[in-house]
Amino acid sequence: MPNIFLSAAVCFFALFGIIQMFKCIINEILKCRNDFFIVISVKNQQDCIEDIIRTTVWKSLNGFRGKDLPQIYVVDYGSTDNTPEILRRICRDYEFIKVFTREEYISLMEKIK
């Protein structure tokens, strides 16, 4: 009789472990599918770029309920006004925002191919 209980317990924990393993695998697959980026191109947009980026962040936070936020890439095409300083300040506020020059962004995209 004790062997039956021992066998049942071993089967139960083995089945439980298999289910947990499949849950982890499925979660990882789903996480990879949700990876995407928002790319914003700018040049001399000091008057509106902060509002555009903060609105994009706000909509992303609400749309994803705070989970799996997309990376936001801002590509500066050689601004000569205060746009670069505004972008640096925003990057300090949000770790998922990255600023690139045109050349840096092209290099990044070539590596992804």
Task: Give the pLDDT score at 3.
Answer: 80
Query: Quick one: the chain helix, strand, coil %, rounded to 5?
Result: 60, 15, 25
> What are the structure tokens assigned to 35, written together?
């990876």
Task: Give the pLDDT score at 9.
Answer: 77
Question: Where are the domains positioned within the chain?
Answer: 1-33, 35-112
- Torsion sign over Cα 61, 62, 66, 69: negative
- Bridge partners (DSSP) listed for residue 98: 73
Give 53-104 pLDDT, tens digit per residue.
Answer: 999 888 877 766 656 678 899 999 999 999 999 999 999 988 889 999 999 9
